[in-house]
Structure 1
């Protein structure tokens, strides 16, 4: 008998796909410093500003309902303002995304990630309706992943890298790592300056959306009381 079901996707393919797409977009952008076609000095600064305004979220424009602004909360998920912004986001997605994707399924996780990211940025825009500062990054979507992870795996321990400990891979309870994430986002928001904005409110909205979604969809019976996530995001009993 011939099996016509086709290949089965294994592993956190959506998580890795998002990480790969974000890294590729960043590398070819005028922000990475690797693409010399954007010039230097004032020309490079102008190219970066145009890049953020083209692909990022501008609250004042988004809330007008202009058709060209409506996709911006999705495109902004793949745009990052610096190497630190990119690597920090991708590290947390790498650590937490695999187990969340395993629980939600590939398609479900992809829709969940995009939905949390979109709604988190819309929520921020609604609270800052007059702002014309650009917002970029997948932090709102990743916060949603963290919220769902905390609900589904409340006793998990995860391995992550900590810059204040010389980037040593250490294992901590997931809730401690999540506190570290929010502290980093708060510090980034305070230091954003006049560049693309770091929407701390969007992180809180994304986290709440992810937690509530997991609670409503799975209920208390689906929570895993003891699970450990390794560097590859794989669960171990």
Structure 2
């Protein structure tokens, strides 16, 4: 009995060290950059220079419209609008929006960056994020709502994670199970999450809210990229990418449900 507990403790410690020891400067840098931008801009409401009340609200609307994606302008507007699907990845509409996105980026980005490498992960993140917002804009070409947020890129990270680490254990808080923490393999949690985005996208209107379609586009792009890029590589047991630590057990990661804030269209 003592030997069994000792072995289990050793495996848990090995897994914890593997996750903590992961080097992911790009993921950490993206999180720091998004937080810094948010804190220094009108979105946070922390900078006195932008005023308060109606003055602050007007500054926020102008900020989102300038740096976010406005579908109606993207395809029939100034040339600078073509850059907005990239700049919008670093703009967030509220504290809840920012913290929810950064949590998901940290949980799933560290291992994905470790697997891809820094340069490839950076290009993957920005490229898939750009295409995800572009896809949403194309499907809502007449919309005047500005679209901001990194969720398109982060959804791509989730899609790649699903292919690369399908057996990694993800601790999730599910509302319909009274937010009890439960561990499931990534191949259970992430497709379930994608299905929820699909259902929500079907009910989404044209008003302010969450751009679920951008989540879906990003998720599919990330999964397909990982499949095409790493499909011929084998994991330690002959399967595609698996998170391996020490004795070959799957790494456990932790997550939480993504928030769905209202306001400007959020991705």
Shorter-chain TM-score category? 0.7 to 0.9
In structure 1, stretches of 5+ residues that fail to align are: 1-9, 232-237
CA distance in 1, matches of 2:228, 2:171: 28
C-alpha spacing 1:229/1:108, structure 2 compared with 1 (3 Å): farther
**Alpha-carbon deviation of 1:64?**
2.1
1:172 aligns with 2:184: yes
1:36 to 35, 43, 48: 48
Aligned-residue CA RMSD (Å): 2.8
Distance 1:230 1:173 in 2: 10
Question: How do 1:1-12 and structure 2 match up within 5 A?
Answer: 11-12=23-24
| Residue equivalent to 1:228 | 251
TM-score (norm 2): 0.73
Give the Cα separation in 2 of the matches to 1:82 and 1:17: 20
Which 10-residue stretch deviates more, 125-134 or 182-191?
182-191
**Cα distance change of structure 1 residues 194 and 123 upon mapping to structure 2, 3 Å threshold:** closer
2:27 is matched with 15
Larger Rg: 2
TM-superposed CA distance for 1:68, in Å, is 1.1
CA contact (8 A) 1:99 1:229 kept: no
| Counterpart residue number, 2:225 | 213
Q: Which moved more, 1:22-31 or 1:153-162?
A: 153-162
Q: Secondary structure at 1:172's aligned position in 2? A: strand
- C-alpha offsets along residues 130-164 of structure 1, whole Å, 9 cap, x if unaligned? 11110000000001000011011111113466788
Deviations 1:46-93 (A, max 9, x none): 011001001100011111263210110111001111111111111011
Judged with a 3 Å threshold, the aligned counterparts in structure 2 of structure 1 residues 77 and 176 are, in CA distance, closer, same or farther, namely: same
Match in the other structure for 1:3: none
Q: Does structure 1 residue 140 correspond to structure 2 residue 157?
A: no
Asked whether the equivalents of residues 95 and 229 of structure 1 are also in contact (C-alpha less than 8 Å), the reply is: no
CA 1:188 to 1:163, structure 2 compared with 1: closer, same or farther past 3 Å? Answer: farther
Structure 1 11/169 Cα, relative in aligned 2: closer, same or farther at 3 Å?
A: farther
